[in-house]
Amino acid sequence: MKKTLVMVLAALCVAACQQEPRKMDSPPAPEAPPAAAEQAAPAAAHADTDVIGMLLKSELATGLDPEMAFVPEDNPVTPAKVELGRLLYFDARTSRDGTVSCATCHHPDTGWTDKGPTSTGIGGQKGTRRAPPSFNRLFSTLQFWDGRAASVEEQAKGPIENPIEHGMTHADLEARFSKIPEYGPLFEKAFGTSEVTIDRFAKAVASFERTIISGNSPFDKWQAGDESAVSEEAKRGHQVYLAEGRCAICHSGANFTNEQFHNLGVGMNKEKPDLGRYEVTKAEKDKGAFKTPTLRNLSSRAPYMHDGSEPTLESVVELYNRGGNKNDHLDPLITPLNLTEQQKSDLIAFMKSLDGPSTKVDIPDVFPGGWKAGMPVE
């Protein structure tokens, strides 16, 4: 039987309230970014204890680091915001023609990302980058592959005005949803009045996304003391990850990312390559650099890299093993690894041991106002 996210969170709380948070080994925590001013984010408070706090005490959060949870002070997570955000996340009326929602490119059935190498927007238009996953945004500040958004709230606004993605203006969205009477009480419950604004839209969607977490993988269970949770191959692969593979330098911390940007040479051989972080900072060192993605749930997230150019985990390992793709801005950390075939296989087994469940979400069939996907929009 379907349950709303809030109901699921409540159920998790019942199971978790009597448990102490588990202590477990994890990869090194991410280092502080070298240029704090460049990567500044809004002031943050610890996760809201009514929603996020109980989620972080649940079994689902096994292996995650509560200390890394990030919630802006001006947007505490509440059940009302989460419920409103859930509806808005799946509602394709957030796009000009009613065909694209947040979930179109970040769907729970495809690892909270997209099925194709790059995202598809309104009118079947293709973007140039792969959609990053929506899970564990609670532990992240800078968003998008190039880090141009300083928060999940800011990220939520971006696709609305992108002509390839949702193809609307913020004013268009406000006007459309203001005309749907059934949304009014939901905004009022979440924010105190029924007014629809782009900032409220973003805060609701961000609140929902912060409740989408994924932990409790076989690896997490092994680190918590269950020796039978992972295979011997995966255990050997963990050592490759830490040592010969040098993966933990960038894929660090409980979410297996240092949240920083690196050039691996992906796509740099194109006539007009995507320059990634450089387009934000204009710093020469950032040319072709993209954000380090989490290693969690890789099995459900193929293809890989910012442009979806690597079809399998095997091809990703080969990319790293040869030292990336040579270019003038290749990160100095990326050098040939010379792994054996056994080490490659073990490393992939380790990465697959990071596959775990994520927050269960009720996907709406009918939206406020009685609208269903495929119906015309005004």
| CATH code of residue 286 | 1.10.760.10
Cα–Cα distance, 108 to 249 (Å, whole number): 29
pLDDT tens digits, residue range 129-181? Answer: 999 999 999 999 999 999 999 999 999 999 999 999 999 999 999 999 999 99
pLDDT of 37 over the 70 cut: no
Instruction: Mark whether 251 and 139 lie in a shared domain.
Output: no
- Residue 175 CA from chain centroid, whole number: 29
pLDDT of 92 over the 60 cut: yes
Cα–Cα distance, 370 to 378 (Å, whole number): 14
Domain count, the chain: 2
Residue 251 has a pLDDT of 99
Instruction: Mark whether 162 and 235 lie in a shared domain.
Output: no
Cβ atoms of 250 and 320 within 8 Å: the answer is no
Instruction: Mark whether 116 and 195 lie in a shared domain.
Output: yes
Strand partners, 126: 120
Q: In this structure, is the dihedral angle defined by the CA atoms of residues 97, 101, 105 and 111, taken in order, positive or negative?
A: negative
How many degrees, rounded to 5, is the angle at CA 333 between CA 327 and CA 336?
A: 75
Cα–Cα distance, 276 to 290 (Å, whole number): 6
Instruction: Give the helix/strand (H/E) hosting 45.
Output: strand 44-45
Where is average pLDDT lowest: 113-117, 165-169, 174-178, 196-200?
Answer: 113-117
Instruction: Mark whether 125 and 234 lie in a shared domain.
Output: no
pLDDT of 2 over the 50 cut: no
Strand partners, 72: 44
Strand partners, 20: none
Instruction: Mark whether 72 and 129 lie in a shared domain.
Output: yes
On whether residue 361 sits in a domain, the answer given is no
Split at pLDDT 50, 70, 90, the class of 59 is very high
On whether residue 373 sits in a domain, the answer given is no
On whether residue 368 sits in a domain, the answer given is no
pLDDT of 18 over the 80 cut: no
Instruction: Mark whether 112 and 159 lie in a shared domain.
Output: yes
User: What is the three-class DSSP state of 262?
Assistant: strand
- Residue 341 CA from chain centroid, whole number: 31
Split at pLDDT 50, 70, 90, the class of 50 is confident
Residue ending a domain, choose from 210, 233, 250? 210
Instruction: Mark whether 156 and 278 lie in a shared domain.
Output: no
Match 């990703």 to its residue by tokens.
316
Angle of helix 152-161 relative to helix 198-210, nearest 10 degrees, comes to 120
pLDDT of 7 over the 70 cut: no
On whether residue 359 sits in a domain, the answer given is no
Q: Name the catalytic one among 31, 59, 161, 165.
A: 165
Cβ-based neighbours of 173, under 8 Å, separated by 6 or more: 94, 160, 196, 198, 201
Instruction: Mark whether 191 and 227 lie in a shared domain.
Output: no
pLDDT of 31 over the 90 cut: no
pLDDT of 33 over the 50 cut: no
Instruction: Mark whether 222 and 321 lie in a shared domain.
Output: yes
Split at pLDDT 50, 70, 90, the class of 295 is very high
Instruction: Mark whether 114 and 231 lie in a shared domain.
Output: no
On whether residue 273 sits in a domain, the answer given is yes
Residue 21 has a pLDDT of 35
Cα–Cα distance, 311 to 325 (Å, whole number): 16
On whether residue 200 sits in a domain, the answer given is yes
On whether residue 259 sits in a domain, the answer given is yes
Give the pLDDT mean for 30-35. Answer: 41
pLDDT tens digits, residue range 311-369? Answer: 999 999 999 999 999 999 999 999 999 999 999 999 999 999 999 999 999 999 999 99
Output the average pLDDT for the chain.
90
Where is average pLDDT lowest: 26-40, 208-222, 277-291?
Answer: 26-40
Strand partners, 276: 289
Give the pLDDT mean for 88-101. Answer: 98
Split at pLDDT 50, 70, 90, the class of 58 is very high
Angle of helix 183-191 relative to helix 79-90, nearest 10 degrees, comes to 140
Match 């490393």 to its residue by tokens.
347
Give the pLDDT mean for 20-29. Answer: 39
User: What is the three-class DSSP state of 289?
Assistant: strand
Instruction: Mark whether 36 and 91 lie in a shared domain.
Output: yes
Instruction: Mark whether 284 and 313 lie in a shared domain.
Output: yes
Cα–Cα distance, 32 to 34 (Å, whole number): 6
Residue 47 has a pLDDT of 43
What number of helices (H) and strands (E) belong to the chain? 13, 4
By residue range, what is the domain housing residue 232? 218-352
Residue ending a domain, choose from 210, 240, 263? 210
On whether residue 115 sits in a domain, the answer given is yes
pTM confidence score: 0.87
User: What is the three-class DSSP state of 184?
Assistant: helix
279 is an active site residue: no
* Residue 131: C-alpha distances to residues 88, 93, 112, 268, 320 (Å): 18, 20, 9, 19, 21
Q: Residue 144: phi, psi to the nearest 5?
A: 75, 160
Residue ending a domain, choose from 210, 231, 250? 210
Of 200, 221, 241, residue with least CA distance to 356: 221
